[in-house]
Structure 1
Amino acid sequence: MTELRDIDPSSPFLAQLHGPDDGQPVVLIEPYVVPDGQTEEFLATWHQVTLFMKAQPGYVTGQLYRGTSGSHVLAHTAVWENLGALQQAVTSEEFRKIVRRSPDGTVALPVIVRQAAVPGICVGS
């Protein structure tokens, strides 16, 4: 099963997940560290999780990234219409059942973010 760790201890993932929902889009960024030799098993579970998520209200799109040069890091991003939709999906029993199938020793470091505006570079949401 996957171990959940916080990237930013001052704003733990579960606090972010259960924070106020202002109805604006959110992005889940979830890097994983997968044990040696377990990548295919992880990808099979991730595939099932993603099929489930795609069917949930409020899911917009997602993408998986894979580390280079033999890295054990994979990272998933998912755009959601709002925090409430993400919260409902990840707290469902069906989601929890699927996630329990992930390889032992897998570490997830999820964070919920929003687009940020930087003048002349990128627009926010």
Structure 2
Amino acid sequence: MVNFKPLDPEFPIERQFAVDSGPVVLINLFTVDLVEQDALVGAWRSDALWMKKQPGYISTQLHKAVGDSSMYLNYAVWDSMADFRAAFSNPEFQQHLNHYPSSAVTAPHLFEKLAVPNCCTA
């Protein structure tokens, strides 16, 4: 089972669930022992295929750190916090977390797009 570690201990993902907003972007950092990297990717793939079928899902992408690092980053976009919260809290999804290797640690956090004049739109 994956071990959770808050990316921001002052405002962990459980507290973020109480904020109604959207669209939201999930940034999820994973670390895993080198020998369990394939197992991590397999577990993530299973989760991604399940999430793709959920209301409000837009997209996801898994990234691997350059070189010999065993760090991964998942970037997922959702229509709303309510949609992500419903999918993440679903008992069927929670069962999926048992498929991760025991060395896996995840640090999920949710973000909103920010408009910055002359740079990007929200």
| Structure 1 and Structure 2 fold alike (TM over 0.5) | yes
Letter in 1 for 2:4: L
TM-score, normalization by structure 1: 0.93
- Aligned residues of 2:57 and 2:79 also touching (Cα < 8 A): yes
Aligned residue for 1:109, secondary structure, equals strand
Q: Which runs of 5+ in 2 are unaligned?
A: none
Q: Corresponding residue for 1:89?
A: 87
Deviations 1:22-45 (A, max 9, x none): 4x2001110100112101011111
State the Cα deviation string for residues 13-60 of structure 1 (Å, max 9, x = none). 11112x1314x2001110100112101011111111000000000000
The one-character-per-residue Cα deviations of 1:43-96 (angstroms, maximum 9, x if unpaired) are 111111000000000000111111011111111011000001000001111111
Q: Quick one: which amino acid aligns to residue 84 of structure 1? A: A
1:62 correspondence with 2:60: yes
In the TM superposition, what are the counterparts of 1:1-125 in structure 2 within 5 Å?
A: 1-17=1-17, 19-22=18-21, 24-124=22-122
AA partner of residue 73 (structure 1): M
TM-score of the superposed pair, with normalisation by structure 2: 0.96
Contact persistence 2:6–2:108 (CA under 8 A): yes
Matched residue type, 2:11: S
Q: Which runs of 4+ in 1 moved over 3 A?
A: none
Contact 2:51 2:87 in 1 (8 A): yes
CA distance in 2, matches of 1:9, 1:102: 23
Task: Work out the number of aligned pairs and report it.
Answer: 122
Find the residue that maps to 2:34 and give its secondary structure: coil
Cα RMSD of the aligned pairs, angstroms, is 0.9
SS in 1 for 2:26: strand
Q: In structure 1, what is the Cα distance between the partners aligned to 2:66 and 2:102? A: 22
Counting aligned pairs with the same residue, the percent is: 30
The AA in structure 1 aligned to 2:19 is P
Given that residues 29 and 74 in structure 2 are in contact (C-alpha distance below 8 angstroms), is that contact kept between their aligned partners in structure 1?
yes
